[in-house]
A = this chain, B = another copy of it.
Amino acid sequence: MRRPRRKAEETKADILTAAEALLRKKGFAGFSIADLAAELQMSPANVFKHFQSKTVLADAICDRHTTRMIGRFDAKDDSVPAPARLGLVARRLMDAHLADIRDNPLFFEMLAMMASTDLPSGRHYRKLIEDLFESVVRHGFETGVYKSAPESTIGRSVAPCFAAVLHHVFLIHADEAELHARCDGLVELVNAALQSPLAK
C-alpha cells in the first residue's frame, strides 16, 4: 500500500516544482494546465488528478513558498533580547517580501492575488506570522523584559500592528526608505507598549 502513495506525493511535488518555474517565467495567467502537462510529459488529466484546478495548484505553490520562507526564521536564538528580536523579525519579514517583489514580480503578483482571497494558503500564512510574533512576545515575557503576556490583548495585537509594513498593498508602490522608517517606528511603538509597566 505504501509505494503508490509515496509515488503520488512525488508526482505532486514534481508538478509543483514545474508549475512554480512556469509561473515565475510567465505569470499565473501566462500558462495553462495543458502547457504544464506538456512540460512534465504527462496528460492534463493526470495533473488534474493531483490538483483539481489551477487555483488549487496556485494555493499549494504559495503555501510551499511562504512556509519555506517562514521556516528560515525558525532560529531559536534566545541570546538576542526580545526587544531587539522583535525588530529583527519585523525587518526580515518585510525584506523577504520586498525581495519577492523585486526579484520576481510575476510570482509576487500571484502571491498577492492569493493573499486577497480566503484560500487555505493565505490563512496558513497569517497563522505562521502570528506564531512568529507570538514567540518573540513569549520570550520577552518569560525573560521579564516584557510586561504583557502573549495571550493578553496587547500581546495578541502585535502581529496586526505590523500589517502596514508586511501586507503587499503597502509594499508594492512604496518607497523603501520610507518603509524601513515606518517599520522602525512600529517596532519602537510595540516595544514601548510591551515594556510598559502599565500594560497588563
Contacts and interface: CB of A to CB of B under 8 A. Distances in A.
Contacts of A199: 192, 196
Interface in A141-181: 148, 153-154, 156-158, 160-161, 163-165, 167, 169-170, 173
A184 interface: yes
Interface in A185-200: 185-186, 188-190, 192-199
Contact of A193 (B163, B167, B190): B190
Chain A, interface size category, equals 20 to 34
Q: Which of A157, A167, A170 has the most CB of B within 10 A?
A: A157
A184 B116 contact: no
A184 to B, nearest CB: 7
Nearest to A188: B153
A192 B192 CA distance: 7
A81 to B, nearest CB: 14
A73 B164 CA distance: 23
A182 interface: yes
Chain A residues touching B, majority SS: helix
Contacts of A156: 185
A188 B154 contact: yes
Given A190-B193, A195-B196, 16 more contacts: A118-B173, A153-B189, A157-B185, A157-B186, A160-B182, A160-B185, A161-B164, A161-B186, A164-B164, A169-B169, A189-B190, A192-B192, A192-B193, A193-B196, A196-B197, A196-B199
Q: Pick the 6 closest A-B CB pairs, nearest first.
A: A157-B185, A196-B196, A163-B164, A193-B193, A160-B164, A192-B193
19 contacts: A118-B173, A153-B185, A154-B185, A154-B188, A154-B192, A157-B188, A158-B189, A160-B164, A160-B185, A160-B186, A161-B164, A163-B164, A163-B167, A167-B167, A167-B169, A169-B169, A189-B193, A192-B192, A193-B193
